[in-house]
Homo-oligomer: A and B are copies of this chain.
Amino acid sequence: MLSIAEIDALDCGAFVAHFGGVFEHSPWVAERAWASRPFGSLTALHDAMAQAAVREASEDEQLALLRAHPDLAGRAAIAGEVTVESKGEQASAGLDRLTAEEMARFTSLNDAYRTRFGFPFIMAVRHADKFRILDSFARRVKNPPGAEKQTALAEVAKIAWMRLLDMVVPNPTGRLTTHVLDTATGRPASGMRLFLHAVDGSERRLLGEFVTNADGRLDAPALSGAELKAGTYELEFLAGAYFSATCQPTAAPSFLDRIPLRFAIGNPEQHYHVPLLVSPWSYSTYRGS
Protein backbone atom coordinates (compact mmCIF):
# COMPACT_ATOMS: atom_id res chain seq x y z
CA MET A 1 0.00 0.00 0.00
CA LEU A 2 1.45 3.34 -1.05
CA SER A 3 0.57 6.66 0.51
CA ILE A 4 -0.55 9.56 -1.65
CA ALA A 5 2.72 11.35 -0.93
CA GLU A 6 4.69 8.34 -2.12
CA ILE A 7 2.60 8.09 -5.28
CA ASP A 8 3.00 11.78 -6.04
CA ALA A 9 6.80 11.24 -5.92
CA LEU A 10 6.89 8.36 -8.44
CA ASP A 11 8.43 8.92 -11.88
CA CYS A 12 6.41 7.90 -14.90
CA GLY A 13 7.96 4.47 -15.28
CA ALA A 14 7.49 3.54 -11.64
CA PHE A 15 3.95 4.89 -11.70
CA VAL A 16 3.02 2.82 -14.73
CA ALA A 17 4.76 -0.24 -13.27
CA HIS A 18 2.59 0.17 -10.21
CA PHE A 19 -0.74 1.22 -11.64
CA GLY A 20 -0.58 -0.06 -15.23
CA GLY A 21 -2.98 -2.92 -14.43
CA VAL A 22 -5.67 -0.82 -12.78
CA PHE A 23 -7.36 -0.55 -16.16
CA GLU A 24 -7.25 -4.10 -17.56
CA HIS A 25 -4.35 -4.66 -19.99
CA SER A 26 -4.29 -0.89 -20.67
CA PRO A 27 -1.16 0.71 -19.18
CA TRP A 28 -1.64 3.74 -21.43
CA VAL A 29 -4.29 4.94 -19.01
CA ALA A 30 -1.79 5.17 -16.16
CA GLU A 31 0.74 6.73 -18.48
CA ARG A 32 -1.55 9.59 -19.42
CA ALA A 33 -2.90 10.07 -15.90
CA TRP A 34 0.66 10.47 -14.56
CA ALA A 35 0.82 13.94 -16.13
CA SER A 36 -1.90 15.18 -13.74
CA ARG A 37 0.15 14.58 -10.58
CA PRO A 38 0.40 15.67 -7.80
CA PHE A 39 -2.92 13.99 -7.09
CA GLY A 40 -3.16 14.84 -3.42
CA SER A 41 -5.82 12.20 -2.74
CA LEU A 42 -6.99 8.76 -3.78
CA THR A 43 -10.15 10.38 -5.12
CA ALA A 44 -8.14 12.68 -7.39
CA LEU A 45 -5.88 9.84 -8.54
CA HIS A 46 -8.91 7.85 -9.64
CA ASP A 47 -10.47 10.90 -11.27
CA ALA A 48 -7.31 11.47 -13.31
CA MET A 49 -7.26 7.87 -14.51
CA ALA A 50 -10.98 7.86 -15.33
CA GLN A 51 -10.56 11.15 -17.15
CA ALA A 52 -7.79 9.68 -19.29
CA ALA A 53 -9.52 6.36 -19.88
CA VAL A 54 -13.10 7.37 -20.34
CA ARG A 55 -13.70 11.04 -20.81
CA GLU A 56 -10.69 12.00 -22.94
CA ALA A 57 -9.92 8.81 -24.82
CA SER A 58 -10.96 8.51 -28.44
CA GLU A 59 -13.82 6.25 -29.48
CA ASP A 60 -11.29 3.69 -30.73
CA GLU A 61 -9.29 3.78 -27.51
CA GLN A 62 -12.46 3.32 -25.46
CA LEU A 63 -13.39 0.34 -27.55
CA ALA A 64 -9.91 -1.14 -27.20
CA LEU A 65 -10.14 -0.68 -23.45
CA LEU A 66 -13.47 -2.51 -23.30
CA ARG A 67 -12.14 -5.30 -25.51
CA ALA A 68 -9.15 -5.77 -23.23
CA HIS A 69 -11.45 -7.26 -20.58
CA PRO A 70 -12.06 -11.01 -20.24
CA ASP A 71 -15.49 -12.57 -20.35
CA LEU A 72 -17.02 -13.00 -16.91
CA ALA A 73 -16.89 -16.67 -16.01
CA GLY A 74 -15.66 -17.31 -19.51
CA ARG A 75 -13.09 -19.50 -21.20
CA ALA A 76 -10.18 -17.14 -20.48
CA ALA A 77 -11.05 -17.13 -16.81
CA ILE A 78 -11.15 -20.90 -16.80
CA ALA A 79 -7.91 -21.14 -18.74
CA GLY A 80 -6.25 -18.69 -16.34
CA GLU A 81 -5.52 -16.13 -19.03
CA VAL A 82 -6.82 -13.12 -17.10
CA THR A 83 -5.03 -10.63 -14.84
CA VAL A 84 -4.54 -11.60 -11.22
CA GLU A 85 -6.93 -8.83 -10.29
CA SER A 86 -9.65 -10.13 -12.58
CA LYS A 87 -9.21 -13.63 -11.27
CA GLY A 88 -9.59 -12.55 -7.64
CA GLU A 89 -12.59 -10.40 -8.41
CA GLN A 90 -14.38 -13.17 -10.25
CA ALA A 91 -13.64 -15.57 -7.41
CA SER A 92 -14.93 -13.12 -4.76
CA ALA A 93 -18.28 -13.13 -6.56
CA GLY A 94 -18.34 -16.91 -6.64
CA LEU A 95 -17.89 -17.08 -10.39
CA ASP A 96 -15.25 -19.81 -10.00
CA ARG A 97 -17.82 -22.11 -8.38
CA LEU A 98 -20.69 -22.12 -10.84
CA THR A 99 -22.82 -25.15 -11.60
CA ALA A 100 -22.75 -26.49 -15.13
CA GLU A 101 -26.14 -24.92 -15.73
CA GLU A 102 -25.03 -21.50 -14.51
CA MET A 103 -21.88 -21.78 -16.60
CA ALA A 104 -24.00 -22.53 -19.65
CA ARG A 105 -26.13 -19.47 -18.97
CA PHE A 106 -23.03 -17.27 -18.69
CA THR A 107 -21.63 -18.68 -21.91
CA SER A 108 -24.85 -18.05 -23.76
CA LEU A 109 -25.18 -14.49 -22.42
CA ASN A 110 -21.50 -13.78 -23.13
CA ASP A 111 -21.95 -14.82 -26.73
CA ALA A 112 -25.13 -12.85 -27.25
CA TYR A 113 -23.63 -9.77 -25.64
CA ARG A 114 -20.40 -9.85 -27.59
CA THR A 115 -22.28 -10.35 -30.85
CA ARG A 116 -24.56 -7.42 -30.17
CA PHE A 117 -22.04 -4.90 -28.83
CA GLY A 118 -18.63 -6.02 -30.10
CA PHE A 119 -17.03 -6.12 -26.65
CA PRO A 120 -17.35 -8.42 -23.63
CA PHE A 121 -19.77 -7.93 -20.74
CA ILE A 122 -17.96 -5.96 -18.05
CA MET A 123 -19.18 -5.52 -14.52
CA ALA A 124 -17.61 -4.59 -11.21
CA VAL A 125 -18.31 -7.91 -9.53
CA ARG A 126 -16.39 -7.58 -6.31
CA HIS A 127 -19.01 -7.46 -3.49
CA ALA A 128 -21.64 -8.46 -6.06
CA ASP A 129 -23.57 -11.66 -5.63
CA LYS A 130 -24.62 -14.07 -8.36
CA PHE A 131 -28.09 -12.52 -8.50
CA ARG A 132 -26.72 -9.08 -9.13
CA ILE A 133 -24.50 -10.28 -11.93
CA LEU A 134 -27.05 -12.43 -13.71
CA ASP A 135 -29.92 -9.95 -13.33
CA SER A 136 -27.71 -7.20 -14.75
CA PHE A 137 -26.41 -9.36 -17.53
CA ALA A 138 -29.89 -10.38 -18.64
CA ARG A 139 -31.08 -6.76 -18.77
CA ARG A 140 -27.98 -5.08 -20.14
CA VAL A 141 -27.83 -7.42 -23.13
CA LYS A 142 -31.02 -5.69 -24.30
CA ASN A 143 -29.74 -2.10 -23.95
CA PRO A 144 -29.35 0.23 -26.95
CA PRO A 145 -25.67 0.06 -28.01
CA GLY A 146 -24.83 3.71 -27.25
CA ALA A 147 -26.22 3.51 -23.73
CA GLU A 148 -24.59 0.13 -23.06
CA LYS A 149 -21.17 1.43 -24.05
CA GLN A 150 -21.52 4.21 -21.46
CA THR A 151 -22.59 1.66 -18.87
CA ALA A 152 -19.63 -0.57 -19.66
CA LEU A 153 -17.19 2.35 -19.32
CA ALA A 154 -18.77 3.28 -16.00
CA GLU A 155 -18.20 -0.29 -14.79
CA VAL A 156 -14.58 -0.12 -15.94
CA ALA A 157 -14.12 2.99 -13.82
CA LYS A 158 -15.69 1.23 -10.83
CA ILE A 159 -13.38 -1.77 -11.22
CA ALA A 160 -10.44 0.63 -11.27
CA TRP A 161 -11.69 2.32 -8.11
CA MET A 162 -11.92 -0.96 -6.24
CA ARG A 163 -8.46 -1.98 -7.40
CA LEU A 164 -7.01 1.34 -6.24
CA LEU A 165 -8.61 0.87 -2.81
CA ASP A 166 -6.36 -2.18 -2.39
CA MET A 167 -3.20 -0.34 -3.44
CA VAL A 168 -3.38 3.12 -1.91
CA VAL A 169 -3.68 4.46 1.64
CA PRO A 170 -6.50 7.02 1.46
CA ASN A 171 -6.27 10.40 3.14
CA PRO A 172 -7.88 10.27 6.59
CA THR A 173 -10.49 12.87 5.70
CA GLY A 174 -13.60 10.70 5.87
CA ARG A 175 -16.10 10.30 8.67
CA LEU A 176 -19.38 8.57 9.39
CA THR A 177 -22.05 10.53 11.24
CA THR A 178 -25.72 10.03 11.98
CA HIS A 179 -28.71 11.93 13.31
CA VAL A 180 -32.01 10.60 14.59
CA LEU A 181 -35.12 12.67 14.16
CA ASP A 182 -38.43 11.63 15.71
CA THR A 183 -40.96 12.53 13.03
CA ALA A 184 -43.92 11.76 15.28
CA THR A 185 -42.96 14.51 17.73
CA GLY A 186 -40.90 16.77 15.45
CA ARG A 187 -37.94 16.64 17.80
CA PRO A 188 -34.45 15.15 17.73
CA ALA A 189 -34.58 11.66 19.23
CA SER A 190 -32.30 11.99 22.23
CA GLY A 191 -31.15 9.06 24.31
CA MET A 192 -31.58 6.52 21.52
CA ARG A 193 -29.02 3.73 21.75
CA LEU A 194 -27.40 2.44 18.57
CA PHE A 195 -24.73 -0.02 17.52
CA LEU A 196 -22.30 0.12 14.63
CA HIS A 197 -21.35 -3.17 13.00
CA ALA A 198 -18.97 -4.09 10.20
CA VAL A 199 -20.74 -6.49 7.85
CA ASP A 200 -18.98 -9.22 5.94
CA GLY A 201 -21.39 -11.45 4.08
CA SER A 202 -23.74 -12.80 6.71
CA GLU A 203 -21.36 -11.95 9.58
CA ARG A 204 -21.60 -8.82 11.70
CA ARG A 205 -18.82 -7.57 13.98
CA LEU A 206 -19.65 -4.97 16.63
CA LEU A 207 -17.52 -1.82 16.25
CA GLY A 208 -19.15 0.50 18.75
CA GLU A 209 -22.13 1.45 20.87
CA PHE A 210 -23.51 4.98 21.03
CA VAL A 211 -26.32 7.02 22.53
CA THR A 212 -27.76 10.06 20.76
CA ASN A 213 -27.35 13.40 22.50
CA ALA A 214 -29.91 16.17 23.03
CA ASP A 215 -29.71 17.12 19.35
CA GLY A 216 -30.26 13.50 18.23
CA ARG A 217 -26.62 13.24 17.10
CA LEU A 218 -23.52 11.48 18.34
CA ASP A 219 -20.99 13.58 20.20
CA ALA A 220 -18.30 12.52 17.72
CA PRO A 221 -18.28 10.67 14.39
CA ALA A 222 -19.05 6.97 14.67
CA LEU A 223 -15.96 6.41 12.55
CA SER A 224 -13.33 8.77 11.24
CA GLY A 225 -9.86 8.97 9.75
CA ALA A 226 -7.94 5.73 9.41
CA GLU A 227 -10.70 3.73 11.18
CA LEU A 228 -13.04 4.50 8.28
CA LYS A 229 -12.34 1.80 5.75
CA ALA A 230 -14.24 1.04 2.56
CA GLY A 231 -16.72 -1.72 3.28
CA THR A 232 -20.22 -2.55 4.34
CA TYR A 233 -21.58 -1.31 7.66
CA GLU A 234 -24.76 -1.56 9.63
CA LEU A 235 -26.11 1.03 12.02
CA GLU A 236 -28.62 -0.66 14.33
CA PHE A 237 -30.96 1.73 16.14
CA LEU A 238 -32.82 0.63 19.27
CA ALA A 239 -35.94 2.50 18.24
CA GLY A 240 -38.29 0.30 20.26
CA ALA A 241 -36.50 1.16 23.48
CA TYR A 242 -36.65 4.85 22.60
CA PHE A 243 -40.38 4.79 21.87
CA SER A 244 -41.06 2.85 25.07
CA ALA A 245 -39.02 5.27 27.10
CA THR A 246 -40.78 8.29 25.58
CA CYS A 247 -44.19 6.66 26.12
CA GLN A 248 -45.20 6.76 22.46
CA PRO A 249 -47.99 4.31 21.73
CA THR A 250 -46.84 1.23 19.89
CA ALA A 251 -48.28 -2.20 19.21
CA ALA A 252 -47.39 -5.35 21.19
CA PRO A 253 -44.83 -6.30 20.07
CA SER A 254 -43.95 -2.95 18.52
CA PHE A 255 -43.86 -2.80 14.72
CA LEU A 256 -40.35 -1.36 14.75
CA ASP A 257 -37.82 -2.34 17.37
CA ARG A 258 -34.20 -2.64 16.27
CA ILE A 259 -33.84 -0.87 12.93
CA PRO A 260 -30.87 -1.92 10.80
CA LEU A 261 -29.51 0.52 8.20
CA ARG A 262 -27.02 -1.31 6.00
CA PHE A 263 -24.85 0.64 3.57
CA ALA A 264 -21.44 0.62 1.98
CA ILE A 265 -18.75 3.20 2.38
CA GLY A 266 -17.13 3.27 -1.02
CA ASN A 267 -14.84 6.23 -0.60
CA PRO A 268 -13.05 6.45 2.76
CA GLU A 269 -11.95 10.03 2.01
CA GLN A 270 -15.53 11.32 2.11
CA HIS A 271 -18.11 12.23 4.72
CA TYR A 272 -20.99 9.77 5.04
CA HIS A 273 -23.97 11.17 6.88
CA VAL A 274 -26.58 8.47 7.37
CA PRO A 275 -29.56 9.82 9.30
CA LEU A 276 -32.67 8.06 10.54
CA LEU A 277 -36.05 9.78 10.39
CA VAL A 278 -38.36 7.62 12.42
CA SER A 279 -41.82 7.30 13.89
CA PRO A 280 -43.19 4.16 15.56
CA TRP A 281 -44.57 3.10 12.14
CA SER A 282 -42.21 4.46 9.50
CA TYR A 283 -38.66 5.42 8.80
CA SER A 284 -36.39 6.74 6.11
CA THR A 285 -32.71 7.18 5.53
CA TYR A 286 -30.50 8.68 2.87
CA ARG A 287 -26.92 9.59 2.23
CA GLY A 288 -26.86 13.15 3.50
CA SER A 289 -24.23 15.83 3.81
CB within 8 Å of B: which residues of A?
A: 55, 123-124, 126-129, 131-132, 135-136, 138-140, 143-144, 146-147, 150-151, 154, 157-159, 161-162, 179, 181, 183-188, 191, 193, 215-216, 230, 232, 238, 240-242, 244-247, 249, 251-260, 262-264, 266-267, 277, 279-289
Contact = CB atoms under 8 A, between A and B. Distances in A.
Contact of A253 (B127, B146, B282): B127
Contacts of A277: 282, 284, 286
Contacts of A151: 247
Q: Which 3 A-B pairs have the closest CB atoms?
A: A186-B281, A284-B284, A158-B252
Contact of A129 (B154, B241, B280, B282): B241
A259 B264 CA distance: 11
B252 A289 contact: no
28 contacts: A127-B257, A128-B241, A132-B238, A132-B240, A132-B257, A135-B193, A135-B244, A135-B245, A138-B245, A140-B245, A147-B247, A162-B253, A181-B286, A181-B289, A184-B184, A184-B281, A186-B255, A186-B281, A186-B282, A186-B286, A216-B289, A230-B253, A251-B264, A251-B266, A253-B266, A255-B263, A255-B264, A283-B284
A211 to B, nearest CB: 9
A23 B140 CA distance: 29
Nearest to A236: B262
Nearest to A252: B158
Given A135-B193, A281-B287, 12 more contacts: A128-B240, A128-B241, A135-B238, A181-B289, A183-B184, A183-B282, A184-B184, A185-B249, A186-B282, A257-B262, A282-B286, A282-B287
Contacts of A162: 252-253
Nearest to A138: B245
